[in-house]
């Protein structure tokens, strides 16, 4: 069943092309779309309400051949928009459909790595809502599967704010030396959702909700309508703070805001991780949290420290007249000659010190300015059909979330961890290594 008909279709197209039947050979992995009428993708949407709504417009130019949602009302919502698609409640069944070549995952965080792995292992292009995984192991397996297949498939993690031009303007300032030598980078987010623990059993799931599939690979928790009370697109705030379903603000707004830093620092995996914050609650992820990571030098900068703050914990402002708390979700870069402070849309350059005269800043000419990436979802759709290159592929997105999830482990262990990124192992804490992965409910396979 793995390597399904897409691969066969690709092989067929290659052989027909080779036989001189009038096709031309595209790079490996691009033939599925080329084969479908009008050069369209055959997309399965897993999750058909909530965040999925934000993707309906972008994908309406393609063939939506399958829809899957554990809530039959939500499935009907998707089917109204795409009536020709086959419908499913179990994503494992859905991915067996032979004509699917691309998948969009907009389900709960604890299912992302599962669905992504299964789709990649079947030769499909994947767009996955953030975060790519809930554990270090999950993010590493998805990334490794992607890297094995990167000449055949296009992937994108759903951090769509990345398309804002300010991301590249910040990168240019940092990289071109506007703050001298980069030494530290900070990102923070101030969304605060406090819960005491999992909600207790209350009522019965509606007949239209396949609750056991909603729980999926997570340990079982009884039904409570609390998990479903959010409006479309914000219901994630009803479950993502519970350890078995999400990673709180680390995977939520953290995915978007650390991206401002990640895009500018060209980092790989960290060599250390530390975490501090509110007292550990085994049921609920922390609101107050500060994590810090050491990153070695690369070819354009020296070693740096990367920080993540949330829930009111904040980096120190360089000047009293700059109130960082007025930036709900933001980032700051510290260099030997000053600071860049930014949010998603705007930035401030703060040269600092008596010799901060900007003569060291190699401001780029107009023709060297990084071009806009354009529409974020379109970036993935176009890549599926052409060169497979996206801006937030599972290598980029998988590495940054691995760092963040390692930080959560450091917070739980309460110790500075030394990390071997090549092996994905902590070298100074067995307790931490045990927290890099999770046990799943019987019947669910992460890398199927």
Ligand X SMILES: NC(=O)c1ccc[n+]([C@@H]2O[C@H](COP(=O)([O-])OP(=O)(O)OC[C@H]3O[C@@H](n4cnc5c(N)ncnc54)[C@H](O)[C@@H]3O)[C@@H](O)[C@H]2O)c1
Applying CB under 6 A, the residues found at the interface with ligand X are: 46-51, 68-71, 74, 91, 106-109, 111, 129-130, 158, 160, 213-214, 216, 233-236, 252
Nearest in space to 221 (alpha carbons), one of 283, 131, 138, 280: 283
What is the distance between the alpha carbons of residues 284 and 258, in angstroms, rounded to a whole number?
22
Q: How far is the CB of 54 from ligand X (least distance, A)?
A: 7
Of 186 and 214, CB closest to ligand X: 214
Cis peptide before 131 (omega within 30 of 0): yes
CA dihedral for 90, 159, 440, 423, sign (positive or negative) = positive
Of 33 and 46, CB closest to ligand X: 46
Q: How far is the CB of 52 from ligand X (least distance, A)?
A: 6
3-state secondary structure of 122: coil
Q: How far is the CB of 109 from ligand X (least distance, A)?
A: 5
Of 89 and 349, CB closest to ligand X: 89
Q: How far is the CB of 290 from ligand X (least distance, A)?
A: 22
31 and 10 Cβ atoms separated by less than 8 Å: yes
Of 34 and 400, CB closest to ligand X: 400
What lies within 8 Å, CB to CB, of 82 at 6+ separation is 45, 64, 67
What is the distance between the alpha carbons of residues 87 and 78, in angstroms, rounded to a whole number?
9
CB atoms within 10 A of CB 363: 11
Of 344 and 419, CB closest to ligand X: 344
Pairing outcome for strands 42-46 and 329-335: unpaired
3-state secondary structure of 142: helix
Of 129 and 244, CB closest to ligand X: 129
Residue in the shown chain whose Cβ atom is closest to ligand X: 50
What lies within 8 Å, CB to CB, of 221 at 6+ separation is 198, 215, 242, 244
Of 212 and 276, CB closest to ligand X: 212
Q: How far is the CB of 10 from ligand X (least distance, A)?
A: 27
What is the distance between the alpha carbons of residues 256 and 11, in angstroms, rounded to a whole number?
38
């Amino acid at each position: 069943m793995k390597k399904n008909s897409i691969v066969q279709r690709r092989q067929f197209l290659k052989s027909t092309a080779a036989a001189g039947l009038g096709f031309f050979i595209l790079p490996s992995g691009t033939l599925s779309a080329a084969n479908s009428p009008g050069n369209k993708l055959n997309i399965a949407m897993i999750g058909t309400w909530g965040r999925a709504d934000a993707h309906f417009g972008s994908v309406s130019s393609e063939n939506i051949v399958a829809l899957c949602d554990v809530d039959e009302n939500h499935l009907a919502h998707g089917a109204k928009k795409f009536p020709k698609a086959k419908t499913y409640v179990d994503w494992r069944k859905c991915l067996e459909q032979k004509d699917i070549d691309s998948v969009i995952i907009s389900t709960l965080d604890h299912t992302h790595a599962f669905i992504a792995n299964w789709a990649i292992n079947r030769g499909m292009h994947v767009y996955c809502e953030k975060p790519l995984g809930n554990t270090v192991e999950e993010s590493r397996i998805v990334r490794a599967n992607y890297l094995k297949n990167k000449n055949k498939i296009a992937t994108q993690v759903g951090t769509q704010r990345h398309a804002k031009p300010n991301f590249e303007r910040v990168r240019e300032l940092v990289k071109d030396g506007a703050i001298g030598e980069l030494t530290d980078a900070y990102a923070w987010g101030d969304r605060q959702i406090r819960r005491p623990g999992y909600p207790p059993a209350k009522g019965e799931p509606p007949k239209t909700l396949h609750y056991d599939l909603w729980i999926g690979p997570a340990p079982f928790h009884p039904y409570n309508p609390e998990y479903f009370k959010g409006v479309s697109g914000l219901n994630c705030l009803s479950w993502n703070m519970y350890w078995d379903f999400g990673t709180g603000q680390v995977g939520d707004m953290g995915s978007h805001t650390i991206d401002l830093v990640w895009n500018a620092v060209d980092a790989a995996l960290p060599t250390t991780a530390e975490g501090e914050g509110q007292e550990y609650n085994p049921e609920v992820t922390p609101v107050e949290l500060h994590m810090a990571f050491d990153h070695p030098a690369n070819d354009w900068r020296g070693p740096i420290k990367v920080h993540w703050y949330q829930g009111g914990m904040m980096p120190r402002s360089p000047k009293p007249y700059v109130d960082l708390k007025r930036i709900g979700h933001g980032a700051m870069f510290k260099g030997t000659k000053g600071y860049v402070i930014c949010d998603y849309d705007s930035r401030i350059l703060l040269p600092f010190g008596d010799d901060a005269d900007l003569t060291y800043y190699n401001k780029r000419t107009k023709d060297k300015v990084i071009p806009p990436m354009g529409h974020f979802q379109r970036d993935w759709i176009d890549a599926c059909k052409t060169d497979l290159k996206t801006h937030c592929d599972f290598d980029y997105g998988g590495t940054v979330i691995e760092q963040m999830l390692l930080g959560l482990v450091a917070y739980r262990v309460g110790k500075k961890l030394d990390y071997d990124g090549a092996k994905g192992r902590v070298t100074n804490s067995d307790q931490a290594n045990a927290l890099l992965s999770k046990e799943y409910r019987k019947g669910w396979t992460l890398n199927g």
